Amino acid sequence: MDASTAAGTVGAGFGVFLLVLLVVGASSGFIVGGMIGRLLHVPESLSFVLSVACAPGLIWFFTRRNKPKT
């Protein structure tokens, strides 16, 4: 395997990893947002908005924890 093929393989694997991370974070955000909506007894339309808001919030929370402090 030459260097360009290896770099392409690593790049594709990294891209798939980021996509999986995004999908898992988004789906867990929807679940957490739905549970919060149920606990607070919010209307169904507002619960959907809460679920959509929790998805990027969880992705942001878990990705910022891995960054080293400068």
Residue 33, pLDDT score? 76
More confident residue, 67 or 10: 10
Environment class of residue 54 by beta-carbon count within 10 Å: exposed (0-12), middle (13-18) or buried (19+)?
buried
Q: Cα–Cα distance between 64 and 42 in angstroms, integer?
A: 29
Residue 69, pLDDT score? 66
Q: Which residues contact 28 (CB under 8 A, 6 or more apart)?
A: 55, 58
Condensed to tens digits (0 to 9), the pLDDT of residues 17-56 reads 777 777 776 677 777 777 888 888 888 778 778 877 777 7
- CA 11 to chain CA centroid, Å, is 20
